[in-house]
Amino acid sequence: MNPEPYFRLHAFICTNRRPDGHKRGSCAARGAEPLRDYLKARTKELGIAGVRINAAGCLDRCELGPVMVIYPEGIWYNFHSYEDIDEILDSHLLKGGRVERLMLRPEDGPPPKG
């Protein structure tokens, strides 16, 4: 049997940076880092219990970036603004809902490699 979860929700934000001009681009080149910092700071300010915000290496969905994945649900988002982050914070991390307009499905690609 699996133990109780250590974190209720565990978000991983890709902050990988590739050189300028790389054909896949990268989340950092698309502006991930300040949005990740903002999400981490606001989660702390709001005192949202049981939520951990982590940076991660390349999540391999570079073309759709910046991206994050929230576990254990396995919900993927892309995001481009502080307003997007505020909506993920409020609707998902605080209230347990989904931000449908930002969600990525497997069919949004690219096909996972392995």
Binding region for a copy of itself (CB under 8 A): 2-7, 10, 12, 43-44, 47-52, 54-61, 69, 71-76, 103-106, 112, 114
Kindly tell me which of 17 and 52 has the beta carbon lying closer to a copy of itself.
Answer: 52
Query: Measured between alpha carbons, how far is 112 from 60 in angstroms, rounded to an integer?
Result: 8
We find the least distance from the C-beta atom of residue 106 to a copy of itself, in angstroms, to be 5
- Judged by beta carbon, residue 99 or residue 103, the one nearer a copy of itself is 103
Q: Which is nearer to a copy of itself, 5 or 34 (CB)?
A: 5
**Closest approach of Cβ 60 to a copy of itself, in Å?**
7
